[in-house]
């Protein structure tokens, strides 16, 4: 039997561990985001932190039930969902504005994330994104 160098085995072990998702079937790992479609790519939030207060009101009304009060994916309705809602406090660390705007606007097929486009205005979606940026 051939001996495999220690660093090769360690590298394979680390790659395997890093490839794990959040444990929910059908959900993308939080470290791997789908590419943003062209119609949303490059969009940036026209609002700053001052919009977070309005965004919080919209979040509390429309998002908290699934994503939880701090956006950790632990809302009361989220317990019964498969896959579970994303932890927005973690997602915001790696997701650009265009990704968040796309996912909120278009939703995500195969999950309970509905499309808010047509329900919320673009301004309201950007305000929610401003609030998401404040989550810890």
**Which stretches in the chain have pLDDT values below 50?**
1-2, 4-27
Q: What is the pLDDT of residues 90-122, one digit of tens each?
A: 999 999 999 999 999 999 999 999 999 999 999
Structure confidence at residue 16 (pLDDT): 28
Structure confidence at residue 130 (pLDDT): 98
Question: CB burial class (10 A; 0-12, 13-18, 19+) of residue 102?
Answer: buried
Class of domain 35-132: mainly alpha
Token couple for 109: 């097929």
Q: DSSP string covering the chain, please?
A: -PPPPHHHHHHHHHHHHHT--SS-TTPPPTTS-PPPPTTTTT---S--GGGHHHHHHHHHHHTHHHH-TTSSS--TTGGG-SSPPP-HHHHHHH--HHHHHHHHHH--TTSS----BTTB-HHHHHHHHHHHTT--
Structure confidence at residue 38 (pLDDT): 98
Structure confidence at residue 64 (pLDDT): 98
Structure confidence at residue 29 (pLDDT): 64
Each domain of the chain, given as residue ranges in start order, spans 35-132
Structure confidence at residue 13 (pLDDT): 32
Structure confidence at residue 30 (pLDDT): 76
* Measured CA angle at 69 (ends 64, 73), to 5 deg: 70
Structure confidence at residue 57 (pLDDT): 98
């Amino acid at each position: 039997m051939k001996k495999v160098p220690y660093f090769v085995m360690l590298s394979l072990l680390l790659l395997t561990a890093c490839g794990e998702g959040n444990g929910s079937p059908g959900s993308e790992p939080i470290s791997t985001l789908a590419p943003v479609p062209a119609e949303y790519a490059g969009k940036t939030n026209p609002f700053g932190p001052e919009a977070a207060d309005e965004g919080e009101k919209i979040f509390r009304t429309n998002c908290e039930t699934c994503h939880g009060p701090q956006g950790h994916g632990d809302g009361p309705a989220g317990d019964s969902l498969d896959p579970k809602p994303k932890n927005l406090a973690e997602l915001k660390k790696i997701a650009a504005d265009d990704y968040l705007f796309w996912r909120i606007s278009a939703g995500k097929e195969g999950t309970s994330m509905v499309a808010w486009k047509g329900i919320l205005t673009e301004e309201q979606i950007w305000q929610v994104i401003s609030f998401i940026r404040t989550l810890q």
